[in-house]
Structure 1
Amino acid sequence: MSEEENRIMRLEEMLAHQGRVIEELSEQLASQWKVVEQTRAKLDRLTERFLALEEQSLDAPAITRPPHY
């Protein structure tokens, strides 16, 4: 095998390896994006619940004197 053929073979191997690494990274990125979206949805729900509870606490009746005073 000539030097040029060896060089081409090494380049092809490197290209195949890089293609595999890119595919793995793409899968990991897609997986992490799903986690981010789920976390964002949970945060939105918790924020809504917190605001609703806060609003309910503001609507509490005012403290008045008991009738026996």
Structure 2
Amino acid sequence: MDKDTEPRFQQLEETLAHLTRVTDELHEVIARQDAEIALLTRRVEMLLRFAAEQQADTEGQIPLADQRPPHW
């Protein structure tokens, strides 16, 4: 090997180590966000079911979404 090859290999190894670390960190972020999205999706589904039940309980009344605000 010549004199220029060793520093280039060292630089490539450093770059590879940095990219590996960044990839691992991003993987952790994505996994955490995936779990949070799943939780939020379940909560939204529960809220939609609750709202549908509330609306079904108030048959004969104007649905809440169609009611005018009290200040009108």
**TM-score category (smaller protein):** 0.7 to 0.9
Residue 17 (str. 1) matches residue 15 (str. 2)? no
1:3 deviates by 1.2
Runs of 4+ in 1 over 3 A off after TM superposition: none
Percent identity over paired residues: 27
What residue is the counterpart of 1:3 in the other structure? 4
- Matching residue's letter, 2:26: L
Residues 33-52 of structure 1: pairs in structure 2 closer than 5 A = 33-52=34-53
Question: So what's the TM-score if we normalise by structure 1?
Answer: 0.81
Higher relative contact order (CA 8 A, sep 6+): 2
- In the TM superposition, residue 59 of structure 1 has moved relative to its aligned partner by 5.9
Instruction: After superposition, give the CA deviation of every residue in 1:21-53 in whole Å (9 maximum; x if it has no partner).
Output: 000000000001111110000000000000000
Distance 2:3 2:52 in 1: 73
What amino acid sits opposite 1:18 in the alignment?
L
Q: Which runs of 5+ in 1 are unaligned?
A: 61-69
Calculate the aligned-residue CA RMSD, in Å.
Answer: 1.6
Cα distance in structure 2, aligned partners of 1:31 and 1:21: 15
TM-score (normalizing by structure 2): 0.78
Higher Cα Rg, which structure:
1
Listed as ranges, the gaps of 5+ residues in structure 2 are: 62-72
Query: Residue 56 of structure 2 aligns with which residue?
Result: 55
